[in-house]
Structure 1
Amino acid sequence: MFYRVKDVTPLAEYRLQVRFVNGETKQYDVKPLFDEWEAFKALTHTAGLFEQVRVDAHGYGVCWNDDIDLECNELYERGISITA
């Protein structure tokens, strides 16, 4: 099952607030990825890049550029639910 992304907002300390098509909202911490994937380190080294996050085509994830992206299921399954 795909948990398609409706919109994404960059937050402080390299966190994302992700709203899904099903109405749920989650926060996802990007910081652990800096140690796992070399490409993600660019988010800390390039001024303003983290804030350029956007929903990719058809909501199947979010991306920053051609090298840095996250799929919708990763965001949903590892994100922390936010209650309104």
Structure 2
Amino acid sequence: MRTRAIKVIPLANYHIQVWYEDGRCVIYNVKQDIDHIKAFKALEDKEQFQKVYLQYNGYSVAWGDGDEFSDPTIDCEVPYDEGEQVLWVS
């Protein structure tokens, strides 16, 4: 079973920091996705990149205005096993 994310914030240089309900916290480099996945190219706009939020009860990271019906969001599975672990609170 996957662990649900509870918080995500944008960082400098196209990184995001994600906290999970089990205490794990990771920093993930989204630049690699922006460079290799066509759908992520819109995130090169730093203003758009700053619009990161959690979607689907914390099982997806998305970008946009948070309204899935009027906003064409970009989303991906929360990167639990990827990125640099920066904290583990048990």
Report TM bin, short chain: 0.7 to 0.9
**Residues 7, 19 of structure 1: 8 Å contact kept:** yes
Deviation sequence 1:10-31 (CA, Å, 0-9, x none): 0000000000111110000001
Moved over 3 A (4+): none
Query: Which of the residues 74, 78, 81 maps onto 2:82?
Result: 78
**Counterparts of residues 5-24 of structure 1 (less than 5 Å):** 5-24=5-24
Which structure: greater helix fraction?
1
TM-score, L = length of structure 1? 0.86
Q: Is the aligned partner of 1:63 residue 2:62? A: yes
**Superposition CA RMSD, Å:** 1.5
Are 1:39 and 1:67, in contact at CA under 8 Å, matched by a contact in 2? no
Percent identity for Structure 1 against Structure 2? 37
Q: Secondary structure at the match of 1:42?
A: helix
Pair member with larger Rg = 2
| Cα shift at 1:47 | 4.6
Distance 2:4 2:87 in 1: 19
- 1:57 positional shift: 2.3
Task: Please identify which structure carries the higher strand content.
Answer: 2
CA distance in 2, matches of 1:47, 1:27: 17
Could you tell me which amino acid in structure 1 is paired with residue 56 of structure 2?
A: A
Deviation string, structure 1 residues 34-59 (Cα, Å, up to 9, x no partner): 23211111011x35110000010211
- The answer to whether the 8 A contact 2:54-2:61 is kept is yes
